[in-house]
Amino acid sequence: MGARPAPLLIFGAVFAAAFVLAALGYFSLRRWEAAAELQLHGQARDTATMAAEKVEMAVVRAEQDAIAALQAAALAPDFGPAAVEAWKARHPLFNAAYVLDRQGRLLYPVAWTRDEAELIGALRAEISQGFWDRGGRRHVEAGGHVILAAVIPGSARGPLLVGLRRDDQALHRDVLEKALGGTEGQSALAILDGSGRPVFGSRPLDRAEPVLTVPFGEALPAWRVALYQPAGLSPRDMVRRQAMIFMAALALLLVVIAGGLVATYRLVRRESEIARLKSDFVANVSHDLKTPLALIRMFAETLEMDRVPDERRRREYYGVLTRESERLSRLIDNVLDFSRIESGRQRYEITVGPVEPIVHEVVESFRHPIEQQGFVVETAIEPDLPDVPLDGDAMKQALANLVDNAMKYSGDRRRIRVAARREGGGVAVEVADDGIGIPLSERERIFEKFYRIGRSETQGRRGSGVGLALVKHIVEAHGGRVTVDGRPGDGSRFTLYLPGVS
Ligand code: ADP
């Protein structure tokens, strides 16, 4: 019993290790989750930034081309409104153009609306002296629009200031669609205007969630590029899902470890129980063999020395010799059969035959001990029982074990009933006693090999614990079954059900 704490210690250690593993797994998962989220966010930002740069470059290139064309037109000596009109027709990206000379006079358009007058005024105010001198291009915000302002040198009228207003539809069609249209992958890109409303989306944005936005350069001030992910597919969601899968796998692993531990523990307990029962078995069998042998020897010696006072005693002694040697051979048969069953070598020779002679023969073989120990045996065999498939010797052994037990486990009420009756197409054979009975909780276990009920109760009653295991094996080999009923203190009844000829 000193070995008891060892399995507990081992299980405790394994559980502790599993717990540490789970804790480590959890914390590294959290770290990984944070790192992965950061990385995915970084990737999303890179994608959006690249898209912003692509759009910005496309806008700037279109503007450069348009300005270069206008500059070329301005070199012509007859440059005037007609030339600007012709230029506009070729550059639909711009829906309005304003051309001013160095003195601030408006050369184009020849007529303008009130709004345009305001816009032109704002443009004049934005353009400093330095810009006239340095030249170049810049985006200015005037009258709620982004105007590309550029100084064109070298025209016949001296340097000219051009203000170009972009057409949103053309921008959409010629620039945004070309730059962002073919985005692949799960994510969608959108362009948001100054108030955060999407003005363009690379694909439908419904059921998608914005992940992040990045600003454009000066060509599209106030606008931003937004990266959208389908609902449930944002980096955060994806990381969460992965983390959940890992957690679930970890939990499963722990459950498997716990299950394995419990299974191992039960197996070990069962094995050690069997080992204990086996050692009891050896002790019990040795004791069982010794007792009848000692009796046989003693009575044989007495007879041999002719020390028996009278004929009645002599007969009695012969009876003891017969009874004890029968007991010995039954015990040895049990052990041999049991070992044959254990090694899978047991064979039964089953032929169809009557049950009645078997019952009589078994009861008869117990006649001596029955009389000696003061038992009353009632035999009730229904007439005209059907013949059933039987191995006669095996069935005798099974019945003898039941009768032997009925005698062993009887108290003062020494009555045994052996009955055989028709049951379905077969036969049921009962052996009942008025003995100590069997608790309900033990009724399954008594048929296990080596098992004996609460050793103290059966102590003093000889037995090896294999008798009922043999009975069960024998009836099951006949395609039948064995049951037990009765109440503790009120006797037990064992019934063997033997199926008929099928
Ligand atoms: P044993 O050699 O101990 O009799 P068995 O396999 O024949 O082994 O029986 C197993 C246990 O079942 C017995 O130890 C006893 O506790 C219980 N048992 C068997 N038959 C009876 C009975 N007729 N009445 C009460 N208990 C019984």
pTM of the predicted model as reported, rounded to 2 decimal places: 0.56
Instruction: Give the distance (Å) from ligand 1 centre to CA of residue 421.
Output: 24
Residue 168 has pLDDT above 50, yes or no: yes
How many whole angstroms separate alpha carbon 240 and alpha carbon 42? 17
Q: Which of 399, 410, 363, 364 is nearest to 471 (CA)?
A: 399
Angle made by CA atoms 212, 215, 216, in degrees to the nearest 5: 135
Q: Atom 16 in ligand 1: which residue has the minimum CA distance?
A: 453
Ligand 1: lining residues by beta carbon, under 6 Å: 401, 405-406, 409, 433, 435-438, 446, 451-453, 458, 463-469, 492
CB atoms within 10 A of CB 449: 19
491: left (phi over 0), alpha (psi -120 to 50) or beta: left
Q: Please report the atom of ligand 1 found closest to the CA of residue 458.
A: 16
Instruction: Give the distance (Å) from ligand 1 centre to CA of residue 374.
Output: 20
Residue 16 has pLDDT above 70, yes or no: yes
Instruction: Give the distance (Å) from ligand 1 centre to CA of residue 443.
Output: 10
Q: Atom 20 in ligand 1: which residue has the minimum CA distance?
A: 405
What burial class does residue 45 get, using C-beta atoms within 10 Å of its C-beta: 0-12 exposed, 13-18 middle, 19+ buried? Answer: middle
Instruction: Give the distance (Å) from ligand 1 centre to CA of residue 30.
Output: 61
**Residue 109, preceding peptide bond in cis (omega within 30° of 0):** yes
For a mutational test of ligand 1's pocket, the pick from 409, 457, 487, i.e. the residue with the most ligand atoms closer than 8 A to its C-beta, is 409
DSSP state of 211: E
Percent of the chain surpassing pLDDT 90: 36
Residue 426 binned pLDDT confidence (cut-offs 50, 70, 90): very high
Q: Atom 7 in ligand 1: which residue has the minimum CA distance?
A: 467
Q: Please report the atom of ligand 1 found closest to the CA of residue 464.
A: 2
Q: Hey, what amino acid is at 165?
A: R
- How many angstroms separate the Cα of 141 from the Cα of each of 125, 131, 152, 244? 11, 15, 20, 50
What would the pLDDT profile of 325-336 be if each residue is shown by its tens digit? 988 998 899 889
Instruction: Give the distance (Å) from ligand 1 centre to CA of residue 436.
Output: 10
Instruction: Give the distance (Å) from ligand 1 centre to CA of residue 9.
Output: 37
In this structure, what token pair is assigned to residue 407?
């005698």
Instruction: Give the distance (Å) from ligand 1 centre to CA of residue 298.
Output: 29
Average pLDDT over residues 274-300: 88
What's the confidence (pLDDT) of residue 459? 55
Residue 295 has pLDDT above 60, yes or no: yes
Q: What is the 3-state secondary structure (H, E, C) of 451-489?
A: CCCCHHHHCCCCCCCCHHHHHHHHHHHCCCEEEEECCCC
User: In which element (H, E) is residue 162 found?
Assistant: strand 160-166
What would the pLDDT profile of 440-449 be if each residue is shown by its tens digit? 999 999 999 8
Strand partners, 423: 426
Q: What is the 3-state secondary structure (H, E, C) of 273-341?
A: HHHHHHHHHHHHHHHHHHHHHHHHHHHHHHHHCCCCCCHHHHHHHHHHHHHHHHHHHHHHHHHHHHHHH
Q: Are 401 and 472 in contact (CB under 8 A)?
A: no
What's the confidence (pLDDT) of residue 411? 87
Residue 342 has pLDDT above 90, yes or no: no
What's the confidence (pLDDT) of residue 456? 44
What would the pLDDT profile of 215-233 be if each residue is shown by its tens digit? 988 888 888 999 888 777 7
Q: Are 421 and 382 in contact (CB under 8 A)?
A: yes
Based on its alpha-carbon atoms, the radius of gyration of the chain, rounded to whole angstroms, reads 53
- How many angstroms separate the Cα of 359 from the Cα of each of 95, 270, 354, 402? 118, 37, 10, 11
